[in-house]
Amino acid sequence: EPQVVFQSKSFEAPITSIALAGPTNKRDNIFLSFGQKLVGMSKKGKEFFKVSSHSTETIMNIAVEDVRAFVGFESSLSIYNDGKVMDEGYMARDAINHLFVGHVTRDNDFDCVLACQDNTIRIVQNIAQTSTVFLEIPTESAVTTVAFMEIEVDKSSIKGPTAIVYGLANGTLGLVQVFSNGEKTPIWTVEDPTRSAITCISIYDLDKDNAMEIIIGRDDGRVEVYHQQPESLFAVPYKAFTKNIGESVRAVECGIVSTPEFHEIIVASYSGKIISFTTEPVHSRAAEDSYGRSIQTISNENRIKHLRKEIDEMKRKLDKDREKFKKSNGSQALESQHKPAADFPVNSKFTLDTTVAAYVLTVELQSSIDLIILRSPVVLDLVE
């Protein structure tokens, strides 16, 4: 049963990005962004850092290393050093969809890798408090997400060239090798027949074979795991697992969460669901159970108990709010009240699918959809 460690206050705007910070083996500080503000919190929920940017753009992506915060706005990058602006940064030609920070081309300093809407991966270096583009890598479609992968040479301890795993808006997954002298070598690409955009990527060794798995989330709700061959990391990976959660995937992370000996994939969906996929053999018998039930059966029973508890709490809260509402409106019945419709976020896209030469409309809500009314200033032909 999941336990709430802490719950933060409600901020003035929706949270757009979240990142962990701290020493490599103990990243227990939380940084989050909303609007034009960046906030740091401890693992117990205590706020210890807050800074406001001078930009009018919304902060969309953040990464924190040491005392430096790399802040990606809608189309620009700024770097903060211990809360002060170190560099007003780099202005991109188009939107910045994602970023990550790591020792990509230098061992003594960090590089910032940008996933750009104009079909380009850009590696930005900060030298003498000035951000400059070190390398541009063109792609066949808009880059939606990027991740860092370190490659060992001949399985020795010598640090070799690094690689960037990237996901595109047309569903393609790719790997490109990057060298410190500015050269680049495309290694492989994996296309998706449905051309569903890749929204997030995580690199993690799930099966403990010293070869990293590539875990991706897609806009159509699929979570996929691609396995690399330990003897040939440059070979095209094969799909080892896929599962559709029924709504777009917003984030994937991996680690040890529920069971100390087994790794898990943690998925966050558009509606706010948190889903875990485990490597534990859940169909085997639970060692601590005297009735011979499987781990999956016990887990399902605990989930049902937890859901019933949540439902009871929601009913009590609803009854309390209903009574409060009736008292504030006299003797008038609750059903006779006419309340304005509440605002709710809508995720909509109207993108061109070149394979069928038609635009595809996608509308996603955080609740069930009963009816959609479309209004367009131009004539649209519906393709069935």
The 10s digit of each residue's pLDDT in 323-367 is 887 777 655 544 555 555 567 788 888 888 777 888 888 888 877
Of the segments 155-169, 186-200, 293-307, 316-330, which one has the largest average pLDDT value?
A: 186-200
- Is residue 6 pLDDT above 60, yes or no? yes
**First vs last C-alpha separation in the chain:** 45
Distance from C-alpha of 44 to C-alpha of 8, rounded to nearest angstrom: 10
DSSP code at position 271: T
Contact 323, 331 (CB under 8 A): no
Distance CA 284, CA 124 (A): 49
pLDDT score of 341: 58
pLDDT tens readout for residues 22-79: 877 788 899 999 999 999 999 888 999 999 988 889 999 999 998 899 999 999 999 9
Residues 228/236, Cβ–Cβ less than 8 Å: no
Q: Please write the tens of the pLDDT for every residue from 146-171.
A: 999 876 655 444 445 789 999 999 99
Instruction: Report the C-alpha gap between 132 and 129 in whole angstroms.
Output: 10
